[in-house]
Amino acid sequence: MRNRIKPKKDMLERIKYNFWQLLFIGNTLAFLFFLYQAASFTSVFAYRWVFFLATPFFTSGIHLLIKSRSTRAEWLSIVNFGTIALMIVYFNAFPDSVKLYWTWFSIPIVNQLTINSFDVLWSGKYPFKWSALIAICIIWFMTILSIAFKVQALMPLIIVLVCITGFWCLFIVFLEDKKVVK
Residue type, 120: V
CA 75, CA 73: separation in Å to the nearest integer? 5
Q: Is the pLDDT of residue 153 over 70?
A: yes
Q: What is the pLDDT of residues 55-90, one digit of tens each?
A: 888 888 887 777 667 878 888 888 888 898 899 889
Higher pLDDT, 163 or 14: 163
Domain assignment of residue 38, yes or no: yes
The CA-CA-CA angle for residues 32, 38, 40, to 5°, reads 100
Q: Which residues contact 91 (CB under 8 A, 6 or more apart)?
A: 52, 97, 98, 101
Phi/psi of residue 176, nearest 5 degrees? -55, 135
Please check whether residue 107 lies inside any domain of the structure: no
Q: What is the domain count for the chain? A: 1
Q: Is 167 contained in some domain?
A: no
In a domain, 104, yes or no: no
Q: Tell me if 84 is assigned to some domain.
A: yes
pLDDT band at 1 (very low <50, low <70, confident <90, very high): very low
**45 inside domain:** yes
Q: Quote the pLDDT of residue 8.
A: 64
**Which residue range forms the structural domain that includes residue 35?**
2-93
pLDDT greater at residue 18 or residue 13:
18
Q: Is 58 contained in some domain?
A: yes
